């Protein structure tokens, strides 16, 4: 029996070594600049699958050949910072201190609030009212529809829906509702992109808080691309049409390169900021294991990593189950109870919120 198990362990050992190498590559792929290595930067999307493969080997080796446990154990130790980023556990940050600022970010999928359906039964508007956040940052948002909902506008007397001649597409998709005065509004121009970033200065208890509301480059996947991705997950042995696969990879690659450039523009603006209170939130269209998030976290802390629990999947369609909505903050804030709220399914995104206490 020992000889049989030893023979069987050889192909398993080779597979485990391959899975370990894949996990390390996925975990550290965000180091590569996505502008120059857009294809390699996509490796972070495979991180959860590589992680699952390495975890599966732990009980397997425990039964068959305990000596080989070290392969996955060492690999998981090397990748622990990325594992914690992807799947944090923070039971100590669930009690919210008094006078904390509740910040909510939500890609509402614009047809969900239009001039024709912004009534008392609108699930999205009802959710925003019930959430009772201090500051709400919205993506894919049309403000004109909310004029019919006076109770929400009375709750948030300060609003932003900036429209300018040079960046109409950017202004068209982003909005802010605030209980605190909005001192100024700016747009960070992404040039030839329908996505964008708005910057608000908000007065809170005598301090100026700078908030960046981002909607970074969308992947722009159509139904054929999504079908190709779904087949890759559900039927990996089934041959997928080469054209669909190539187009899917090209879309993801080109979008990753654009997000890298857009991230650089936001970071350059943050570096010029004089206020110590900075928040960056929105739909990044990138997972926590990505070049975009790594660059952002060179300047800021991730509220979900420090105060959330579990994977926090925020996109909920087409089996693209990733946390692509984020809230980051400067070191002058401490985050508590960051959550992806799965209670509303009106959009293809779930809202994400957290409580921030000024240090």
What is the percent of the chain with per-residue pLDDT over 70, rounded to a whole number? 84
Sheet holding 196-204, edge to edge: 182-188, 196-204, 207-215, 277-283, 325-329, 301-302
Is the pLDDT confidence value at 74 over 90? yes
Instruction: Specify the pairing of strand 196-204 against strand 277-283.
Output: unpaired
Q: What is the pLDDT of residue 170?
A: 41
Tens digits of per-residue pLDDT, 241-298? Answer: 566 677 778 888 888 999 999 999 999 999 999 999 999 999 999 999 999 999 999 9
Q: What is the pLDDT of residue 87?
A: 96
Q: What is the pLDDT of residue 244?
A: 65
**Cα 173 from Cα 139, distance rounded (Å):** 6
Number of Cβ atoms within 10 Å of the Cβ of 242: 9
- Which residues face 137 on adjacent strands? 105, 176
Q: What is the pLDDT of residue 79?
A: 97
Q: What is the pLDDT of residue 273?
A: 95
Tens digits of per-residue pLDDT, 223-246? Answer: 666 666 666 555 555 545 566 677
Q: Which CATH architecture has domain 96-358?
A: 4-Layer Sandwich (3.60)
Q: Which of 125, 92, 94 is nearest to 108 (CA)?
A: 125
- Mean pLDDT across the chain: 87
On whether the CB atoms of residues 304 and 312 are closer than 8 A, the answer is yes
Per domain, the residue ranges of the chain are 2-86, 96-358
Q: What is the pLDDT of residue 55?
A: 95
On whether the CB atoms of residues 172 and 138 are closer than 8 A, the answer is no
Grade residue 113 by pLDDT with cuts at 50, 70 and 90.
Answer: confident
Tens digits of per-residue pLDDT, 157-193? Answer: 998 875 444 444 444 478 999 999 999 999 888 876 7
């Amino acid at each position: 029996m020992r000889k049989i198990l030893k023979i069987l362990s050889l192909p398993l050992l080779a597979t485990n070594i391959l899975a370990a190498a894949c996990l390390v590559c996925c975990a550290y792929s965000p180091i590569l600049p996505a502008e120059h290595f857009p294809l390699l930067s996509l490796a972070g999307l495979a991180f959860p699958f590589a992680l699952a493969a390495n975890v599966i080997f732990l009980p397997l080796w425990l039964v068959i050949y305990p000596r080989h446990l070290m392969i996955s154990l060492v690999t998981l130790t090397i990748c622990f910072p990325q594992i914690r980023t992807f799947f944090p556990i923070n039971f100590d940050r669930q009690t919210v201190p008094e006078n904390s600022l509740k910040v909510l970010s939500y890609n509402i999928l614009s047809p969900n609030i239009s001039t024709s359906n912004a009534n008392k039964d609108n699930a999205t508007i009802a959710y925003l009212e019930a959430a009772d956040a201090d500051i709400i940052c919205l993506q894919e948002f049309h403000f004109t529809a909310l004029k019919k909902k006076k109770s929400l506008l009375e709750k948030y007397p300060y609003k932003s829906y900036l429209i300018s001649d040079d960046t109409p597409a950017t202004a068209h998709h982003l909005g802010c509702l605030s209980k605190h005065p909005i001192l100024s509004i700016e747009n960070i121009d992404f040039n030839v992109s329908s996505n964008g970033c708005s910057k608000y200065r908000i007065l809170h208890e005598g301090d100026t808080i700078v908030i960046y509301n981002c909607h970074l480059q969308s992947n722009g996947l159509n139904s054929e691309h999504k079908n190709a991705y779904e087949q890759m997950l559900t039927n990996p042995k089934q041959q997928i049409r080469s054209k669909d696969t190539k187009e899917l990879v090209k879309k993801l690659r080109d979008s990753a390169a654009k997000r890298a450039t857009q991230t650089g523009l936001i970071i350059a603006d943050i570096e010029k900021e004089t206020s110590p209170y900075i928040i960056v939130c929105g739909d990044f269209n990138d997972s926590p294991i990505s070049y975009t998030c790594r660059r952002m976290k060179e300047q800021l802390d991730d509220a979900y990593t420090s105060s959330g629990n579990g994977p926090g999947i925020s996109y909920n369609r087409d089996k693209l189950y990733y946390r692509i909505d984020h809230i980051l903050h400067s070191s002058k804030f401490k985050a508590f109870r960051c959550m992806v709220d799965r209670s509303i399914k009106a959009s293809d995104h779930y809202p994400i919120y957290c409580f921030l206490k000024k240090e």
